[in-house]
Structure 1
Amino acid sequence: MTALDIDAVKAFVTIVDHRSFTRAAEVLGTTQGAISVKLKRLEERLGLKLIERTPRLVRLSAQGAVFLDSARDLLAAHDRAIAGLSSVRRRFSLGIATHVAGPEIPTLLARLNAHDPALTIEVRLDNSRNLLDAFDRGDIDAAIIRREDDRRDGQVLAPEHFGWFATPTFVYREGEPLRLAALSPSCGVRDIATRALDAAGIAWTEVFLGGGSSVVADAVAAGLATAVFSCRLAPAGTMEVTERFGLPPLPSSEIVLLSTLSDAKSRQALRTLATAFREHRPPSV
């Protein structure tokens, strides 16, 4: 009887799920070379060619397609057996900045739950500055935030670009204070906006302050104000108005993942989260 290496089977299924040796290596926390070696050994053990690989394409062979369902069943049975050895659920608290969280977040959390059903995640939504303070105090275990100031720690997940957004009917006359909506006085994005306006000598007045990102988005969508948004998260029906109103360009930033988690399973869960974020994050406009 042929005995199969669970890690090799997991490598095969992960390659199939991500259609990439590189992404499979990221998810499994290993190297592309190690993934290739595991797949080769599995194929040799089975005497089958499971994956067809070209410089531009990774896909299942006909024999791989037949084996795939059995491979998933084997991994599921293995995971159930391991989970049955422990009745203790693990948990960690994750902070996600409100101006980072987009429609992809439920998908990310679902992916994380599928990766490790025994892991309970407590999610906290707040602005980046408050989450960074909470992370430094040890109140949360991990945070996905916009990079703050000159702080260089953390894993970079993606660049973040900002713009001035308003409705096509929003009226701004030169010489009048720009009507501005912002999340809160402690919001770093608000600081970026007001510093840029001050440096350009543009008068401004806040007509909406606080109330959460949905209130700010509603104010802008109603044509009552303009606001700075991530270019990927601007409210529907709005447009980028930097050139139209002669507003100052805004510096880009980075979205980073901070974590104090050190155990192997939690680190693996974070790698899964980071990979899923990159895959599901909508492109900037």
Structure 2
Amino acid sequence: MRSIPTDLLRAFVTIIDLRGYTRAGEQLGRTQPAISLQMKKLQDLLGVSLFAKEGGMQLTEQGELVAGYARQILALNDEMMLKLSSRESSGKLRLGIPNDYADHFLPRLMSSFARDGADITFDVVCDISHNLLEGMRKGQYDIVVAMTPDGPSEGAFMTWKEQLAWVGASEHGNMLAGNQEKGPLRIVCYPEGCLYRRNMLTALQRDGRSFEIVYTSPSLSGLEAAVGAGFGMTVLARRIVPSALRVVEPAAHLPRLADVVVGIYVSADRKRSAVARSFAARFADMFVASDAGALAG
């Protein structure tokens, strides 16, 4: 009897959700050719064509069937591993995550664990990515979600590119952006070491734009309060901009921003890696679903 590796099914589902091999590769930390080889292997094992011959992401009838079963298999696999590994571990998962990602994703993730009755407790630390990765190297965390500027750090479980955006208040965004020719751009940002801050200031310096840092805060709520009051502008990941704020598109007075790479990193500690990897897979699925929703919108 043939057995289908779950990594092939996960790659297949990610291709469907993100509508492409390249984006799936970025999301899963693999190259586009590696994803293509995985799909060839999956189709060879199944003995069917999953995608229509005319190209694109159109699934065949067999592909639709496989996709439905793949989602069920992955859900059961992750649930099983999570419950088994949680019984073999201390039951506490040490998670390091940037503040804005915690605010955006953790409520939904915790709700899903509560519904499933998962026997896990959490110790969550919010910090800038550089500090989180350093903590991971020192063994302080089981899982870290962190941003890097040019590529993933060593040992990433999954990576993807995150698009950054200029952000202003709903009422004041256009006014602030439009008045920058008359004076320095007023900047609201996280403390030094934050990649949002580094990316923003690098873009301004590259374009020769004057700026003034008028407000710093380690919390997203602090930034949201300052930007929402029209005190200045900031940069955040586009898909997690708070609803009270608005994206201000780049123009002559606002430079374009480079993307950052986001990765999920899992501890190499064998005693804790099983539960950590199961949690990471579930977290990764949430990022994929969020990205797919953003694309669909």
Please state which band the TM-score falls in when normalised by the shorter chain: 0.5 to 0.7
C-alpha contact (below 8 Å) 1:181/1:207 kept by paired residues: yes
2:241 pairs with 1:239: no
Q: CA deviation at 1:229?
A: 1.3
Q: Structure 1, residues 237-280: CA drift from partner, whole Å, max 9, x if none?
A: 4232411x522111111210011143434322322222233224
Aligned counterpart for 1:212 among listed residues 201, 219, 244:
219
TM-score, reference length from structure 1: 0.66
Give, as a single letter, the amino acid of the residue that structure 2 aligns with 1:257.
I
Q: How does 1:114-153 map to 2 (within 5 A)?
A: 117-149=118-150, 151-153=152-154
2:258 pairs with 1:251: yes
2:93 pairs with 1:92: yes
Judging changes above 3 Å, is the alpha-carbon distance between structure 1 residues 161 and 89 closer, same or farther for their aligned structure 2 residues?
same
Larger helix fraction of residues: 2
Q: 1-side partners of 2:133 and 2:258: how far apart?
A: 20
C-alpha contact (below 8 Å) 1:144/1:255 kept by paired residues: yes
* Paired residues, number: 235
Q: Partner of 2:162 in structure 1? A: 160
Over aligned residues, Cα RMSD in angstroms?
A: 4.1
C-alpha contact (below 8 Å) 1:115/1:272 kept by paired residues: no
Q: 1-side partners of 2:88 and 2:265: how far apart?
A: 28
Q: Partner of 1:47 in structure 2? A: none
Q: 2-side partners of 1:21 and 1:191: how far apart?
A: 35
Q: 1-side partners of 2:232 and 2:89: how far apart?
A: 50
What is the aligned-residue identity percentage? Answer: 21
Give, as a single letter, the amino acid of the residue that structure 1 aligns with 2:190.
L
Structure 1 residues not aligned, in runs of 5+: 1-7, 24-30, 38-52, 62-67
Q: 2-side partners of 1:93 and 1:60: how far apart?
A: 33
2:294 pairs with 1:283: yes
Q: 2-side partners of 1:276 and 1:246: how far apart?
A: 35
Q: Which has the larger radius of gyration?
A: 1
Q: Partner of 1:260 in structure 2? A: 267
Q: Partner of 1:198 in structure 2? A: 205
TM-score, reference length from structure 2: 0.64
Q: 2-side partners of 1:140 and 1:56: how far apart?
A: 39
2:232 pairs with 1:225: yes
Give, as a single letter, the amino acid of the residue that structure 2 aligns with 1:283.
A
Q: Partner of 1:41 in structure 2? A: none
Q: CA deviation at 1:211?
A: 4.7
* 3-state SS, counterpart of residue 135 of structure 1: helix
Q: 2-side partners of 1:82 and 1:230: how far apart?
A: 35
Give, as a single letter, the amino acid of the residue that structure 1 aligns with 2:283.
L
